[in-house]
A and B are shown apart, each in its own frame.
Chain A
Amino acid sequence: MSGRAGAAAGPDEGLRVEGLDVALGRTAVVRGASFTARCGEVVGLIGPNGAGKSTLLRALAGLVPAGAGAAAWNGRSLLDLAPKARARVLAYLPQGRLIHWPMAVQRLVELGRLPRLGPLGRPGPADAEAVRAAMAATDTLHLAWRTTDALSGGEQARVLLARALAVEAPLLLADEPTASLDPYHVLEVMAALRRVAGRGRAVVAVLHDLTAAAQSCDRLVLMDGGCVVAEGPPEAVLTPGRLRVVYRVDGGLLAGERMVRVRALT
């Protein structure tokens, strides 16, 4: 792996965020955030509501302007990439599972190929293969010709994840991909994220399910009040002390298991 010196960042280092500030209007929402996500890693971005996780992710995706600080992919700045170029480096899965028009699942996943198509280019065999692989990774192949308004919440989540995977960008930024899913589907989505990382891509996912985060992420980045307060392997981040201060709950990782138990502070 490459050295830690920012300027000397190597070409295969993955995502490196350093001292990033993001303001929405006049409110500083993210302050001096630094973390890394290497290729092959699933990094969980965790923290209480309003900690600035989504805003940080949106800034990395170029959806809100970042202030001071830097964010680089393999040593190249992400923040001043042109939209077309950025769309090839990163795929962004927004919060909220928005599908404005019901459409065939296959067609929805194919939207992920748009950054790869020229203005008049037609999808080719490589695009078809990327779509098929994305649907296989999310176990949605059997849904191909269903319309999206006939899907359950879990199916919708996987289909939208497949759309983001079909971009085949080396970096995936997913904002709450497991929100409002039942335990089975949480595991399914996390397994899909692991498969993505297994192909040498970097995944950064905003997560609220601490157990899922502890089980499926290589490392966690804990945010509070706009700042990154801890970064490291789950057992190093999810300490009782931090859970008490940041999440205002009693709890911690159960000994020997990657299971987080929480209860109200007494």
Chain B
Amino acid sequence: MVAIPADKVGRLRTPAVLFLLVLAAATLAASFVIGPAPLRPDEVFAALNGRGDPVIADIVTQIRAPRALLAVLVGGVLGLTGAALQGLLRNPLADPTVIGVSNSAALGAVVALYFGLAKTAPLALPALAVTGAALGLAALAPAARRGEGPLALILTGVAISTLAGAAISLALNLAPNPYAVSEMAFWLLGSLTDRSLQHLALAAPLILAGGALILSCGRALDALALGEDAARSLGFDLDRVRLLVVAGAALGVGAAVAVCGSVGFVGLVAPHLVRPFTDGRPSHALAPSALVGAVLLGLADLLVRLIPTQTELRLGVVTAFLGAPVFIAVLLRMRRLS
């Protein structure tokens, strides 16, 4: 934990947010330039303005743009959801992957894709992924309600996550599909490779709507820092707050997973990177966590392109190397505190 002088608590937020905005913009820009065919910035600009070499224009608008924008959107909503779930559940280990939401969403997406639903109705893909995410969160409710401490919740989430992962494997094996194993890797480790403008159009509205729902709950999350009784006595209807956050998380994570699989740990890491620079209020961490999530996923996707491997690395491989140590560090700190 970074120590901050007492009188500086929370005062670092504005410069930190500006820094994050610049970093996010730089990541986005780098994402246009770096790739199998390195492009010069002026070529990218020309292509974005509809001029220059038509091949480069195709690469920029059809391949690089959706990939870069999806990295920002997906990373953003994962960071935001992680911060909101940590606030709602008052659990520093909450994260869409850890508590099983991502895998549940991936299961929904797999069902939609491999049983032909997505072919007849394109909206079936995000709809089932969102439904899967919502069901995953609903399955968590008994553990969250009983308040048996943070670890019970995480263990329940791990069980949900494992079950959904197994169900994905089962569905892929049952479906007439010769590529089941490599498809498995896509859904459980995620990837932004070959994402198109259609994917972007499918996911972006849902991600933005989910993000808006979550951001509307900032003050309730602040009040929840004092516990449920105090939050209710401050006039917050907690059933409504839970519904809003869960709906926002389901929409955002469901849509993100529907187009690029389950990418782990971004939602866990982002709030922990952000929190030392805030004044500690959960609402203060929401927007910066989204920015950090966007930067993290953007950088991870750049790494995936830069590391020379036989076949392209999965995004979740990079984020797991980043996230798992943070998870363990937080866990150890919690044990020391309790």
A63 contacts B223, C-beta separation under 8 Å:
no
Q: Is the CB of A103 within 8 A of B232?
A: no
Q: Is A190 an interface residue (CB 8 A)?
A: no
Contact of A92 among B10, B219, B230, B281 (CB under 8 A): B230
Question: Measured between alpha carbons, how far is A61 from B222 in the docked complex, in Å?
Answer: 20
**B236 contacts across to A, CB distance below 8 A:** 83, 114
Q: Which chain A residues have a beta carbon within 8 Å of chain B's beta carbons?
A: 58, 61-63, 83-88, 90-94, 96, 98-104, 107-108, 111-112, 114-115, 117, 119, 145-148, 150, 160, 163, 167
- Find out whether the CB atom of B10 lies under 8 angstroms from the CB atom of A111: no
- Cβ of B223 and Cβ of A147 under 8 Å apart? no
Q: Secondary structure of the A side of the interface?
A: mixed
User: When the two chains form their complex, are residues B237 and A83 in contact, meaning their CB atoms are under 8 A apart?
Assistant: yes
Q: Which of A83, A112, A147 is the one whose CB lies under 8 Å from B280?
A: A147
Given contacts A92-B229, A111-B223, A147-B9, contact A101 B234 (CB under 8 A): no
Q: Are A87 and B222 in contact (CB under 8 A)?
A: no
In the complex, the answer to whether A104 meets B279 with C-beta atoms within 8 Å is yes
Q: What sequence of 0s and 1s flags, for each residue 224-240 of chain B, a beta carbon within 8 Å of any chain A beta carbon?
A: 11110110111111000
The answer to whether B90 and A100 have CB atoms under 8 Å apart is yes
Within B4-36, which residues are at the interface with A (CB < 8 Å)?
A: 6-10
Judge if B282 is at the interface, Cβ distance under 8 Å: yes
- Complex Cα gap A111–B226 (Å): 9
A83 and B241 CA atoms in complex are apart in Å by 13
CB distance from B146 to the nearest CB of A (A): 15
Could you name 13 residue pairs across A and B whose Cβ atoms are closer than 8 Å? A58-B229, A63-B229, A86-B233, A94-B227, A101-B225, A102-B280, A104-B9, A104-B280, A107-B279, A114-B219, A114-B223, A147-B6, A148-B280
Q: Identify 19 new A-B residue pairs, CB closer than 8 A, beyond the known A98-B227, A101-B90, A114-B234.
A: A62-B232, A63-B229, A83-B235, A83-B237, A86-B235, A87-B233, A88-B235, A94-B233, A96-B227, A100-B226, A103-B225, A107-B10, A107-B280, A107-B281, A111-B222, A115-B235, A145-B8, A147-B9, A163-B230
A87 touches B10 (CB 8 A): no
Name which residue of chain B comes closest to A87, CB basis: B235
Chain A hits for B237, CB < 8 A: 83
**Interface size class of chain B, counting residues whose CB lies under 8 Å from the partner chain:** 20 to 34
Closest residue of chain A to B227, judged by CB? Answer: A98
Write the nearest CB–CB distance from B152 to chain A, whole angstroms. Answer: 16
Nearest Cβ on chain B to A83's Cβ, whole angstroms:
5
In the bound complex, do residue B280 and residue A103 qualify as a contact, i.e. CB atoms below 8 Å apart? yes
Q: What are the residues of chain B within 8 A of A62 when measuring CB–CB?
A: 232-233
Interface of chain B residues 208 through 257 with chain A (CB within 8 A)? 216, 219, 222-227, 229-230, 232-237
B224 touches A100 (CB 8 A): yes
The 9 closest A-B pairs by CB, nearest first: A103-B280, A87-B235, A92-B233, A98-B227, A104-B9, A100-B90, A84-B235, A94-B229, A115-B235
- A85–B235 Cα distance when bound, in Å, is 7
- Choose among A87, A100, A104, A160 the residue that contacts B234 (Cβ–Cβ < 8 A): A87
Scan residues 270-307 of chain B and give those whose CB is less than 8 A from a CB of chain A.
279-282
Tell me whether B281 and A94 are in contact (CB under 8 A). Answer: no
Chain A residue nearest to B235 in the complex (CB): A87
**Given known A100-B224, A147-B9, contact A111–B234 (CB-CB < 8 A):** yes
Q: How far is the CB of A145 from chain B (nearest CB, A)?
A: 5
Q: Give the chain A neighbours of B223 by CB distance below 8 A.
A: 111, 114
Q: Assess the A63–B233 pair: CB atoms within 8 A.
A: yes
A61 pairs with B235, CB closer than 8 A: no
Tell me, rounded to whole Å, the shortest Cβ–Cβ distance linking A89 to chain B: 10
> Within the assembled complex, what's the spacing in Å between the Cα atoms of A78 and B281?
30
Residues of A within 8 A of B233 (CB): 61-63, 86-87, 90-92, 94
Candidate in B10, B233, B236 with the most chain A CB atoms within 10 angstroms: B233
Give the complex CA separation of A117 and B219 in angstroms.
10
A90 to B235, CA, bound (A): 10
Residues of A within 8 A of B281 (CB): 101, 103, 107
User: Could you say which of A102, A104, A114, A167 contacts B222, with CB atoms under 8 Å apart?
Assistant: A114
Q: In whole Å, how far is A149's beta carbon from the nearest beta carbon of chain B?
A: 9
A99–B222 Cα distance when bound, in Å, is: 11
Contact B10 A98 (CB under 8 A): no
**Contact with B7, one of A61, A107, A145, A163 (Cβ below 8 angstroms):** A145
Give Cα A108–Cα B226 distance, bound, in whole angstroms: 9
CB pair A111 B235 closer than 8 Å: no
Expressed in whole angstroms, the Cα–Cα distance for A90 and B232 within the complex equals: 12
For the complex formed, measure the closest distance between the CB of A262 and the CB atoms of chain B, giving whole angstroms. 31
Residues of chain B within 8 A (CB-CB) of A61 are: 229, 232-233
CA distance A100 to B227 in the complex (A): 7
In the complex the two chains form, what is the Cα distance from A62 to B232 in whole Å?
Answer: 8
| Cross-chain contact of B282 among A94, A96, A101 (Cβ < 8 A) | A101
Q: What 0/1 readout, one digit per residue, does chain B (87-106) give for beta carbons within 8 Å of chain A?
A: 10010000000000000000
